[in-house]
């Protein structure tokens, strides 16, 4: 590989040099497992190096070892790490403490848990500068304000006086970057800094990071599982798997001409739409013709759910879901997308009967379902199954896989003995799990296997509708792609319908026939998949689509982003619960209309309906020049 020569070429100037790094973890039974195997790399001054790999590939372990740190149960067993003039592995505790947070800074995945809720942002941001006595309090505060500005935080002079809960998740993540950069570290380690964020927030944070890194010329290690995100940030990429390096190369080379087979599979899986077989549209079309005569499988009318003391109309004070109307035909898949807090999970739970809606009806085959669990029949339970997001907690850790799968068989179908065993094995086969997992506990399975078992339990009931709540979001890309493929296959074979809930628009577009976009509990768009391929979109759908990072360099610079100040100005907003919820972020809002009149649900020419004042032609005219919306094309 030619990059090894390149490595040697810039080796003298390299800020960081790692050779033969070896990290060992001790298992419970006293055995040691090598989790990082003889890893070598170097980072030049001012370079951004990405460590990419799926969970368990050792990327975070390597990043932490750059600070001379190994997590509990692990220790660095060998190798050399040089940062500037320092030999990290031969430093004593005091020297390491002097280096950490001062010369080498760390930005963690979850800013929410990295900040102390009882202290203001400013105190925490300048803390490391004061601890390491690199500057006076006044100088540190002035510098922090400068960083806040560079990171595009609103009101940089005063945001430091706020507490962590008073700023948004994306802002907190940027404040953490300020915390890391306050001491002018030689090396910054970013550990999945945007993974926990919504796409629309992620793009803001990425942009801020990128600007700061460019401005200050920091050397950085960017740890991520997401190739598209890394493509925006990194100069060079190291692909890791099982603790060893698979491929090293410049970002452009890794993205366009990967040499290693594993890198190629990662790239393939990063675009689920491409790897998925196309859904048989013809059969679906037939279904719709039939459905014209009969009731859809599921119909939701005027659903309102929430919590808090009821208002004068008897509606909940805080509405999580507001006026949801949708239907799911037999054998079709409906996708529900929206950011966290938009009410996606609540919708699934309301359909499953676990949350009683305040208003509205849910009908299965034209028969109204009881809003509570107590009023539903066993047959109704059987027909609607829910698959939870976390297979880790959705499977009872005390029960074997066999027992977990056989319960619905006995409960709904009255199977026992040999027949039950036979069906259990069939189910395992259906989700492509080996039959020997039948006696294993969930804790002994991998994440992907657990999600398959989770799915098999739902299938055991022979349901008509499966509610999939973010079933792939906790999985690695390659595994997630396999699960999606399985879902599509099961749908063809068993004619089940899905309500597929996700925050990932590209996943939803890959497998769903209809796509519902939720924003703040309201359905802002409900459109067939084909209509979601080209403008016009609802302004929020468009924001979502254009926020998904494309798998190429330079996307971040091209994509049009607007800060709140750049949005079209609007006057006073009328106090009404029905005013468009997306108004504060909308780039296409109209003064005098959007802020005073509640939008009406209207049909679009290209199919589906949206909740927006703008006409199709308007939307199209404004959105067309704003493409490319790529990385999500099917």
Partner 1 sequence: MKPAHESSASVTATPVIAVKKKARKGRSWLGLIGLAIVLFWLAMALLGPSISPYDAGAIVDVDVFSGISSKFWLGTDYLGRDMLSRILFGTRYTIGLALAATLLACSVGTAIALFAALTGGWVDALISRVLDALISIPSKMFALLMVATFGSSVWLLILTAAITYMPGSYRIVRSLAVNIQTMEYVQAARARGEGALYITCVEMLPNMIGPVLADMGLRFVFVVLLLSGLSFLSLGVQPPDADWGSLVRENISGLGEGATAVIMPALAIAMLTIGVNLLIDNLRGKRARKD
Residue recorded with tokens 């036979």: 422
If one asks whether residue 461 binds partner 1 (CB under 8 A), the answer comes out as yes
Q: Give me the torsion for CA of 69, 73, 76, 82, rounded to 10°.
A: -10
If one asks whether residue 266 binds partner 1 (CB under 8 A), the answer comes out as no
C-alpha to C-alpha distance for 541 and 550, rounded to whole angstroms? 16
Among 9, 26, 119, 274, binds partner 1 (CB under 8 A): 26
Q: Return the residues of window 501-530 that contact partner 1 according to CB under 8 A.
A: none
If one asks whether residue 497 binds partner 1 (CB under 8 A), the answer comes out as no
Going through 45-121 in order, the beta strands assigned E by DSSP cover 48-52, 74-83, 86-87, 104-107
Size of site (CB under 8 A) for partner 1: 46
Looking at the Cβ atoms of 336 and 545, the one nearer to partner 1 is 336
Among 106, 222, 388, 537, binds partner 1 (CB under 8 A): 388
If one asks whether residue 353 binds partner 1 (CB under 8 A), the answer comes out as yes
Nearest Cα to 344, choosing from 320, 369, 315?
A: 320
Among 277, 397, 564, 571, binds partner 1 (CB under 8 A): 397
If one asks whether residue 298 binds partner 1 (CB under 8 A), the answer comes out as no
Looking at the Cβ atoms of 162 and 403, the one nearer to partner 1 is 403
Residue recorded with tokens 């798997």: 241
> C-alpha distances in angstroms, 250 versus 12, 74, 206, 207, 407?
19, 31, 20, 21, 52
Nearest Cα to 213, choosing from 239, 240, 238, 193?
A: 193
C-alpha to C-alpha distance for 261 and 555, rounded to whole angstroms? 25
The pair of structure tokens assigned to 113 is 């848990």
If one asks whether residue 396 binds partner 1 (CB under 8 A), the answer comes out as yes
If one asks whether residue 246 binds partner 1 (CB under 8 A), the answer comes out as yes
Looking at the Cβ atoms of 38 and 235, the one nearer to partner 1 is 38
* Spatial CB neighbours of 353, under 8 Å, sequence gap ≥ 6: 369, 370, 371, 372, 373, 376, 381
If one asks whether residue 257 binds partner 1 (CB under 8 A), the answer comes out as no
Site string for partner 1, 438-457 (x = CB under 8 A): -------------------x
Instruction: Give the helix ranges, DSSP H, for 239-363.
Output: 251-256, 261-269, 272-275, 281-293, 344-352
Among 120, 134, 253, 390, binds partner 1 (CB under 8 A): 390
Per DSSP, the residues of 491-524 read HHHH--EEEEEES-HHHHHHH-SEEEEEETTEEE
The pair of structure tokens assigned to 523 is 């359905």
Site string for partner 1, 29-48 (x = CB under 8 A): -xxxxx--xx-xx-------
Among 244, 275, 595, 596, binds partner 1 (CB under 8 A): 244
Closest contact distance (angstroms) between CB of 245 and partner 1 is 6
Looking at the Cβ atoms of 69 and 381, the one nearer to partner 1 is 381
If one asks whether residue 229 binds partner 1 (CB under 8 A), the answer comes out as no
- Region from 81-89, 271-279, 394-402, 614-622 binding partner 1, contact rule CB under 8 A: 394-402
- φ, ψ for residue 86, nearest 5 deg: -90, 135
Nearest Cα to 301, choosing from 327, 277, 319?
A: 327
If one asks whether residue 577 binds partner 1 (CB under 8 A), the answer comes out as no
Nearest Cα to 209, choosing from 169, 151, 167?
A: 151
Among 132, 376, 462, 585, binds partner 1 (CB under 8 A): 376
C-alpha to C-alpha distance for 402 and 569, rounded to whole angstroms? 60
List residues near partner 1 by CB under 8 A.
Answer: 1, 3-4, 7, 24, 26, 28, 30-34, 37-38, 40-41, 244-246, 248, 260, 352-354, 373, 376, 378, 381-382, 385-386, 388-390, 393-399, 407-408, 411, 457, 461
């Amino acid at each position: 590989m030619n990059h090894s020569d390149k490595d040697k070429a810039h080796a003298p100037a390299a800020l960081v040099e790692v050779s033969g790094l070896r990290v060992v973890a001790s298992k419970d039974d006293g055995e040691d497992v090598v989790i990082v195997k003889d890893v070598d790399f170097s980072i030049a001054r001012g370079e951004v190096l990405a460590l990419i790999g799926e969970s368990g590939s050792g990327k975070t372990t390597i990043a932490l070892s750059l600070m001379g740190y190994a997590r509990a149960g692990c220790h660095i067993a060998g190798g050399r790490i040089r940062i500037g003039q320092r030999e990290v592995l031969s430093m004593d505790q005091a020297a390491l403490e002097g280096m950490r947070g001062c010369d080498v800074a760390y930005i963690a995945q979850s800013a929410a848990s990295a900040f102390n809720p009882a202290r203001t942002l400013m105190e925490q941001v300048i803390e490391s500068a004061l601890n390491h006595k690199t500057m006076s309090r006044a100088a540190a505060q002035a510098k922090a304000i400068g960083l806040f500005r560079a990171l595009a935080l609103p009101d940089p002079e005063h945001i430091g006086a706020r507490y962590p809960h008073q700023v948004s998740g994306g802002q907190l993540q940027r404040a953490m970057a300020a915390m890391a950069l306050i001491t002018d570290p030689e090396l910054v380690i970013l550990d999945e800094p945007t993974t926990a964020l919504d796409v629309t927030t992620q793009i803001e944070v990425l942009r801020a990071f990128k600007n700061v890194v460019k401005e200050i010329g920091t050397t950085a290690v960017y740890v991520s599982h997401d190739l598209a995100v890394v493509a925006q940030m990194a100069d060079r990429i190291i692909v890791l798997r099982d603790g060893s390096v698979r491929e090293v190369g410049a970002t452009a080379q890794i993205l366009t001409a990967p040499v290693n087979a594993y890198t190629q599979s990662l790239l393939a899986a990063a675009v689920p739409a491409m790897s998925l077989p196309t859904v048989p549209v013809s059969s679906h079309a037939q279904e719709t013709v039939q459905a014209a005569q009969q009731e859809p499988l599921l119909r939701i009318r005027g659903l309102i759910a929430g919590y808090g003391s009821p208002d004068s109309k008897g509606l909940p004070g805080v509405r999580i879901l507001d006026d949801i109307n949708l239907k799911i035909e037999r054998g079709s898949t409906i996708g529900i997308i929206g950011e966290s807090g938009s009410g996606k999970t609540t919708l699934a739970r309301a359909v499953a009967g676990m949350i009683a809606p305040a208003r509205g009806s849910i009908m299965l085959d034209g028969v109204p379902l009881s809003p509570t669990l107590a009023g539903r029949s066993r047959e109704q339970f059987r027909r609607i199954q829910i698959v939870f997001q976390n297979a880790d907690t959705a499977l009872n850790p005390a029960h074997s896989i066999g027992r977990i799968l056989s319960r619905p068989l006995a409960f709904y179908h009255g199977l026992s003995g040999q027949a039950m065993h036979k069906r259990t094995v069939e189910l395992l086969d259906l989700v492509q799990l080996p039959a020997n997992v039948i006696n294993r506990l969930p804790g002994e399975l991998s994440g992907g296997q657990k999600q398959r078992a989770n799915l098999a339990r739902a299938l055991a009931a022979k349901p008509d509708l499966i509610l999939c709540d973010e079933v792939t979001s906790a999985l690695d890309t390659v595994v997630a792609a396999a699960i999606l493929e399985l879902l599509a296959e099961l749908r063809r074979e068993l004619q089940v319908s899905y309500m597929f809930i996700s925050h990932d628009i590209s996943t939803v577009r890959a497998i769903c026939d209809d796509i519902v976009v939720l924003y703040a509990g309201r359905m802002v768009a409900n459109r067939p998949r084909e209509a979601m391929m080209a403008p016009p979109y609802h302004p929020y759908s468009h924001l979502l689509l254009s926020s998904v990072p494309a798998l190429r360099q330079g996307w971040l610079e091209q994509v049009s982003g607007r800060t709140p100040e750049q949005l079209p100005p609007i006057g006073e907003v009328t106090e009404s619960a029905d005013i468009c919820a997306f108004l504060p972020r909308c780039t296409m809002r109209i003064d005098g209309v959007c802020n005073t009149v509640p939008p009406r649900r209207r049909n679009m020419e290209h199919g589906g309906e949206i909740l927006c004042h703008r006409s199709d032609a308007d939307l199209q005219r404004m959105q067309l020049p704003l493409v490319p919306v790529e990385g999500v094309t099917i």
